[in-house]
Amino acid sequence: MGRYIAYRLILTIFVLLGVSLVVFFMIRLIPGDPAQLLADQWATKEDIEQLRRDMGLDKPITVQYLIFMDRILHGDLGNSVITKVPVREEIAARFPYTLQLAVAGTVIAVVIGILAGTISAVKPFSIFDSTAMILSLLGVSTPAFWLGLMLILAFSVHLGWFPAMGARTARHLVLPSLTLGLLTAGVIARQSRSSMLQTLQEDYIVTARAKGLLERVVVYRHALKNALIPVVTIVGLQFGHLLGGTVLVESVFSWPGMGRLLVDAIFTRDYPIIQGAVLMFAMVFALVNLGVDLLYGLLDPRIGYE
């Protein structure tokens, strides 16, 4: 186990190195001069050149990348071009909000998705099964911003149950997490149903039923645990996706997370913020995948890592 974790961590370092390389060079292909964009309308050419030197844009791009990597290795992600605040502090202030939203959305998606998928597999081609699969298809196909606006219209404007914007209390978390959870539940429900149908046809399930075990014992104690292995993979991928893909939901609900920080940085050409945020997303996604791989061994002891 230890060797496997060390091996995966080494691979993660190479992944982050590749991500830093791609992001660094791609954002510099964006049209426009950051120094020109940041300078005010009364700035002279000398002022713009001085700003370009302060940002390090006067150096060759390879030198800029080497300086960037040297700072990262020393734990320095640089300072925001706009606010002059260290990128680490910006990320530290925003990431807990995104993590909170992603965790809440994942919990909702897992509960709804696994429950609906399991019942659909136990009662295939029933009314519940057909309804659940249609709703899951709608969940996969529905745009996040549209569902968020509909929830605001229903539960905030008309009913007044929950606030529509902000992140001050737990009530502010309900609508954005429900938006993410309902959209993700469709993917998990379809995977749960497929995996559960296959597991229920295994020989040990037939044997358990032949022994006279109660159906709920067969389903939830014997079948569900093995059926969860591919579901865990989907949940891990979806959780990583929620951490990096909550931009629309955060924008709709004015949620002060990493998504809004990244969008604002892209519009203002704030290179340090963009690079730091993307590297943070890549690192978290790699660690989530590692955690999912380790969870396989808990669900099925036959899985080895050496």
Predicted confidence (pLDDT) at residue 301 exceeds the cutoff of 60: no
pLDDT of 77 reads 77
Q: Residue 213: pLDDT band by 50, 70, 90 thresholds?
A: confident
Q: Residue 40: pLDDT band by 50, 70, 90 thresholds?
A: low
| Eight-class DSSP state of 86 | B
Matching residue, tokens 């039923």? 209
Per-residue pLDDT tens over the stretch 236-292: 778 877 776 577 788 788 788 887 888 888 777 777 788 888 888 878 877 777 777
Q: The domain 94-299 belongs to what CATH superfamily?
A: MetI-like (1.10.3720.10)
Predicted confidence (pLDDT) at residue 306 exceeds the cutoff of 60: no
Total Cβ atoms within 10 A of residue 225: 13
Task: Provide the β-strand partners of residue 86.
Answer: 79
Cα(304)–Cα(231) distance, rounded to whole angstroms?
A: 19
Predicted confidence (pLDDT) at residue 14 exceeds the cutoff of 60: yes
Predicted confidence (pLDDT) at residue 189 exceeds the cutoff of 80: yes
Q: Residue 188: pLDDT band by 50, 70, 90 thresholds?
A: confident
pLDDT of 103 reads 87
pLDDT of 244 reads 65
Cα(58)–Cα(50) distance, rounded to whole angstroms?
A: 9
**Residue ranges of the domains in the chain?**
2-73, 94-299
Helices (H), the chain: 2-27, 34-38, 45-54, 61-73, 87-122, 127-141, 144-151, 171-199, 203-210, 215-217, 224-244, 247-252, 258-267, 271-299
Q: Residue 304: pLDDT band by 50, 70, 90 thresholds?
A: low
Matching residue, tokens 């920080």? 261
Q: What is the mean pLDDT of residues 74-101?
A: 82
Instruction: Say what percent of the chain tops pLDDT 90.
Output: 0
Cα(165)–Cα(253) distance, rounded to whole angstroms?
A: 5
